[in-house]
Structure 1
Amino acid sequence: MWIEKRDKDNYKFVEQYKDPLTGKTKRVSLTLEKNTAHTRKQAQATLEAKIRQRLQHIKDGTLKHGITLKQLSEEWLRNYHALVKYHTYDNAKSRTNKIVTDIGKDVLVEKVKPVLLEDYLNSLIYEQNYKNSSVMKFKGTLGNMFRYAYKHDYIKSNPISEVEVNYRSEEATEKASQKFLDDVELKQVLDYMYKRSPHYGRFCEFLYLTGMRYGEAASLYRSDIHKQADGKTVATVNSTLVNGQKQASPKTSSSRRDVTLNARAQLIVKQELIDHPFKSNFIFESKQGHPLGNVVLNFWLRKAKAELNIKKTLSLHTFRHTHISKLAELGVPLYLIQNRVGHKDAETTKDIYLHVTKKAEQKLDSKLNLL
């Protein structure tokens, strides 16, 4: 580093470095008012940071030592935050915090071997009783973190690429038939929720009738319900809820859509607007004028599951899956169902569709002998 005198009480501190991409020498500089031992030390540190910043995306094969799992997680999360929606980031942050806590914040990234990660993921299944689907997400988060580490020369290779998780074969993902309600179960659950509160019952029934996600339905404004030129009444899905706050865009780009409301869904909307004061723009609002919360609704659904002795999964999302199953039962093509529920390509939708259509085929086969 050298110093150039500029004006009175004005000094330019300069450092140079070699650009690996061009082989040419480049400079970074910093202007300070004083030239003292303290400012020289300060300038040196600042200039070195500037050089590191400029070279951070240049992979020259030189391994950077001493990066801990905690440091990697924080750096990766800052980068990841700018690339995805908040809900996706928030879930990744939660998994990352658990990974760092479980494995160890001071573990050096360059020392992590595939066997360590494999043992950890297996322990999530067999010791901490996580589902296969959850552990797959942990593996994905680890893969993203270590892919970032590889690109930034913290490791020589991504250890997750050699990891083979011993997933529970008996689970093999939850059976499609357990994800939606049949007609009898649906009536029982809706009756239960209507008895708890007509407000709760209408919201759950609206989810079933539209196939919307909780956040999509709860964030609907009165202005989102309108009649189109062809006479159809639709709900325009253009938002969701994140931590109770309306977010301008829904979960994915394919989630932006107009959902046709049948007569019953339209009646539910009208009844909500009649029964609740105009404290907010939300259709389904709490007494305080906030969007209807999912915590209390899922609490009562858990109570319904126990009291009605329903063996299937039961949450607000179950109504969405039940909507998909009913459309499949009615013979609606898969691509139209995907468009309606905002699933561009979702395995769950396909699994439910195939399960229902397969069941319909079996019913047909059993009746062929009656011809």
Structure 2
Amino acid sequence: MEQVKIANITQKTIRPADKTGYIEVKFRTYFNNQLTNKRREILSDWYTIVNKKDTTGKIKLSPQIKAIIHKELQEKANKVYEELTRTILLEKSDITLDEVWNEWHNERVERQLVAPKTLAGEDGRYRNHITKQIPKNSILKNIPSSLIKNLLDNLYPIGNHKRLAQGVKSDLTSIYKFAILHDYISPDQNPMPYISIGRKGLSDELDRLKKSDIEDQYLESWELKEVLSIVRKYNEQYARIFEFQALTGMRIGEVLGLKEEAIDFNKNIASVIRTRATHGGASEDSYEGNVKNLQSYRNVQLSKRAIEILKEEIELNHQHIRFNPDYKDNGWIFTSKSIHKPDYNGTPLHYSVLNNFLNSSENGKLNRNGNPRRAGIDIDNKLSFKKHITTHIFRHTHISFLAEQGVPLEAIQDRVGHSRGSRVTEIYLHITKKTKDQIIPILDTLTQ
């Protein structure tokens, strides 16, 4: 039984005793119930005690009597606390999936525990996948393991969404852990430790490997130059952004989240301390959000060309500050400067705008007049090679280039803000394998 911390013991009530020279005394104490933040009083039984008082007017008690009273009140307090706890837990035992989800998600938003983009991903997986198979009003402790397993199996291995299945599993694991820590369920009511994401069959795995090509995830040097040349014809600022991304390995949100104050031009260093965001708790006035994870907070050494890009963009901003009355200067570097959207002048660009510029999903769809839309530049169909271009490919290009130059994996991970796995490792291993293939021909010349 848990020991509750009780307050000092004092006299509560005194009454005459049947025995001459004695009185009957009832004692009191209290404890603060941490579950309710309320004080709970505890009373002792009646004690028959010699009617002698100390200098303060209180009944004198022997050490033996004090110990007996303390033991009784402590045991009573422990029992009351246990009953109160059991009652509260019973009241919470019917908590629903949606109630726990909202508490968990809102806490992450309010405390800014993760990046806004991560919060948006969690929210999307909950609405679009979890609640499509598990009703919101399901009592958390009653959700069968088989239902969760079927949810994951419907994403993977039956489908091709392994990363989505992993994300859903991670969300549910966090929700159940949150519920346990808040005493909504007991640890033995958590099914997640027993649920795993199944593997595909061998034939499915072989098909996946045949179809997947890691080389599609990054650009060779000549491919990068071709992409930037095409982009530059339509938008020089966007070309600078993509080139800067390729030179630094930053995520697009990190690039757009740069402010002048984050650049040390004396040491040629950019401090990655924020990301561009307008949702998941980020203020629409500041457009600031947390970076993706702890490893993302970092200093990135900048090349000569990267510094040139920053100075060029900053100089354009200062021209707008002097001559454009619509421009709102808040220190952002890569900002909107459009005559068509004066209300946005000075605000940082959004990554969705850049991705839509490259390849918009609206491109080719019929408008109200029945004519095909022309959204973005549809760059995939302008290239001499077959690759899908998004803002993230420039980050992968940076990783592949460093791997080709023999930069150690750990150094690359530190530079791009990744501590483990994912595409960083996949690209690195792929590039280094290509380098290893060159070893045998070289060795053949060793003794000749």
TM-score bracket for this pair, using the shorter chain length = 0.7 to 0.9
Alignment partners' CA distance in 2, 1:145 and 1:59:
23
Task: Judge which range, 58-67 or 108-117, deviates more.
Answer: 58-67
- Deviation at 1:178? 3.0
Q: Structure 1: 5+ residue runs without aligned partners?
A: 1-18, 31-50
8 Å contact 1:132–1:171 — kept in the other structure? Answer: no
- Residues 134 and 84 of structure 1, relative CA distance in 2, 3 Å threshold: same
Letter in 2 for 1:300: F
Counterpart of 1:241 in structure 2 is 276
* Structure 1 residues 254-279: Cα deviation after superposition (integer angstroms, max 9, x where no partner): 32332222221122222223444233
Counterpart of 1:145 in structure 2 is 175
Counterpart of 2:185 in structure 1 is 154
8 Å contact 2:272–2:298 — kept in the other structure? Answer: yes
8 Å contact 1:118–1:163 — kept in the other structure? Answer: yes
Alignment partners' CA distance in 2, 1:161 and 1:310:
45
Alignment partners' CA distance in 1, 2:289 and 2:115:
11
Alignment partners' CA distance in 2, 1:165 and 1:197:
44
Equivalences, count: 327
Letter in 2 for 1:185: E
Pick aligned residue for 1:292 from 331, 349, 354: 349
- Deviation at 1:238? 2.1
For the pair 1:273 / 2:255, whether they are aligned, the reply is no
Counterpart of 1:22 in structure 2 is 4
Task: Judge which range, 179-188 or 21-30, deviates more.
Answer: 21-30
- Deviation at 1:92? 2.2
* Structure 1 residues 51-80: Cα deviation after superposition (integer angstroms, max 9, x where no partner): 99xx77x99997953222222222332444
* Structure 1 residues 195-242: Cα deviation after superposition (integer angstroms, max 9, x where no partner): 2200110100000011111122112122332233xxx42222222122
Letter in 2 for 1:104: P
Alignment partners' CA distance in 1, 2:391 and 2:87:
47
Alignment partners' CA distance in 2, 1:102 and 1:135:
13
Letter in 1 for 2:124: S
- Residues 236 and 71 of structure 1, relative CA distance in 2, 3 Å threshold: closer
* Structure 1 residues 10-59: Cα deviation after superposition (integer angstroms, max 9, x where no partner): xxxxxxxxx955397646369xxxxxxxxxxxxxxxxxxxx99xx77x99
Alignment partners' CA distance in 2, 1:226 and 1:180:
29
8 Å contact 1:20–1:60 — kept in the other structure? Answer: no
- Deviation at 1:83? 6.9
Alignment partners' CA distance in 2, 1:264 and 1:342:
21
8 Å contact 2:115–2:291 — kept in the other structure? Answer: no
Alignment partners' CA distance in 2, 1:215 and 1:365:
42
Letter in 1 for 2:353: V
Letter in 2 for 1:187: K
8 Å contact 1:193–1:300 — kept in the other structure? Answer: no
Q: Structure 2: 5+ residue runs without aligned partners?
A: 7-29, 33-37, 41-79, 279-283, 322-326, 338-344, 360-377
How many percent identity over aligned positions? 30
Alignment partners' CA distance in 2, 1:200 and 1:91:
26
Alignment partners' CA distance in 1, 2:147 and 2:248:
45
Alignment partners' CA distance in 2, 1:256 and 1:123:
36
8 Å contact 1:132–1:167 — kept in the other structure? Answer: no
Letter in 1 for 2:393: T
Q: Once superposed, what is the RMSD of the aligned Cα atoms?
A: 3.4
8 Å contact 1:193–1:200 — kept in the other structure? Answer: yes
8 Å contact 1:284–1:291 — kept in the other structure? Answer: yes
Alignment partners' CA distance in 1, 2:298 and 2:381:
35
8 Å contact 1:63–1:154 — kept in the other structure? Answer: no
Alignment partners' CA distance in 2, 1:309 and 1:139:
40
Please, what TM-score do these two structures have when normalized by structure 2?
0.64
Letter in 1 for 2:263: I
Counterpart of 1:251 in structure 2 is 292
8 Å contact 2:275–2:288 — kept in the other structure? Answer: yes
* Structure 1 residues 124-174: Cα deviation after superposition (integer angstroms, max 9, x where no partner): 3477x5621111010110111122334424253321222233354354796
For the pair 1:264 / 2:305, whether they are aligned, the reply is yes
Decide which structure has the larger Cα Rg and report it: 2
- Deviation at 1:311? 4.3
8 Å contact 1:69–1:100 — kept in the other structure? Answer: no
